Chain A
């Protein structure tokens, strides 16, 4: 990491506001940068520009009415958020979910994860100044959105999972299109590798930039591709398996150095692993109902429950305390981006401003999720 050129000459320092309307913060994140020339001495994120009181909203309405909110925290990968919430209610109320529904949930969630990674892939490169890759990745992402739109009814802020199953069954057309998509995306990976992964400019901009070691990740509670990039194979799908994930054979890609390049490669390889999961799930897709019998007015038993899922950006945990009515007493949501963002000041101290953009992009932050 380069040392600030004039580490103690205070009078030369100045403040720079990055955001809240900055193209590389992807949302309303503001970072106050204390600068020394081109070097960042102290970056401090400022949150709250997109705060919508999701947790408070959950305390004010019967639990089914919170379902649309879950898709609006992480808009880039809404289905894992749906999944965590319905699974939480199912755990609390003791509802068995039909196997087919679980398979559908896994398939659609993984599709959504790929869509989110493709979005991040394009956006990171856009931040680094490469305009072309986002057009290609959006072309692929568009296919996923079309597939998911046909089945969930929306393109981005899905509200598809229901307590006890999913709102609509998948059909042969969906299976066929998904298989075609798997084939297509596999054929596109070599192209991405040629276009981006080997590109000397890209490599120079991300290699050895923003090194985070495993210990630092643990101190800040960073999860997802960030901790996996630091070499820790921590993935809720494996370490705390939920739904039908134990039935599939897939790997957790990890990095070695923990720099931006490792995080990039981890996400890149994760797309391939998600394709593997989808493929196996489509092969094994069981027949049966897609919705369990759930009483129309389901009261939550008093008590509390916790449920974690692996969202596209890391560990997402819901914690609900119920007092026995159908309105939750408290719903706590632990989002991955919040912890991942908190790495920023320590990670970027002493960096060049342009490297900060690369390092922040490699964290894959979604701001509405931080400001939920």
Chain B
């Protein structure tokens, strides 16, 4: 009979909705999983790949970059500019310009892998915002000095 099926469906359907409501009610009583972002912040993993940053050699305290330009050549997006000059009485070139155009960076990590001296590493900055493009043209030498 047609009517039988109709009432059965009505019953089964109503039950399925109540079961679903039961699930949401159970979730309602459980601890909150979301983080109230601007007020609370999660710890970012140390393996996070942010934009790149020059690093110091822990022994000498100097940046070990030898201005070979490998990073700039490997970068798919062409966002690294390195320049250096040879100073009097020094064996290797010293770094004068290290610009990162973060607007174009795709955070692939190829530059860090290509560096023969491990002079660059990823930073942990993740919540970066700005009003102009130029705010993302980073002078990494300056940033290194500021970090001390």
Contacts and interface: CB of A to CB of B under 8 A. Distances in A.
A binds B: yes
A150 interface: yes
A72 B77 CA distance: 14
Interface residues of B, number: 28
A112 to B, nearest CB: 17
Interface in B15-51: 16-17, 19-20, 22-24, 27, 33, 45, 47-49
Given A159-B109, A167-B113, A198 B47 contact: no
A65 B48 CA distance: 21
B106 A198 contact: no
Interface of A: 61, 64-69, 72, 132, 136, 139, 146, 149-151, 153-154, 157, 159, 162, 167-168, 191, 194-196, 198-201
Contacts of B45: 146, 149-150
Contacts of B75: 65
A149 B106 contact: no
B24 A132 contact: yes
The 4 A-B residue pairs whose C-beta atoms are closest, nearest first, are A200-B13, A153-B49, A65-B76, A68-B108
Contacts of B107: 68, 153-154, 157, 159
Contact of A64 (B22, B23, B48, B74): B74
Interface of B: 9, 12-14, 16-17, 19-20, 22-24, 27, 33, 45, 47-49, 74-77, 106-110, 113, 122
Given A61-B76, A64-B74, A150-B47, A195 B109 contact: no
Contact of A195 (B23, B47, B49): B23
Contacts of A149: 45, 47-48
20 contacts: A65-B74, A65-B110, A66-B76, A67-B108, A67-B110, A68-B107, A72-B106, A139-B33, A149-B45, A149-B47, A150-B45, A154-B48, A157-B106, A191-B23, A195-B24, A199-B20, A200-B12, A200-B13, A200-B14, A201-B13
Nearest to B77: A68
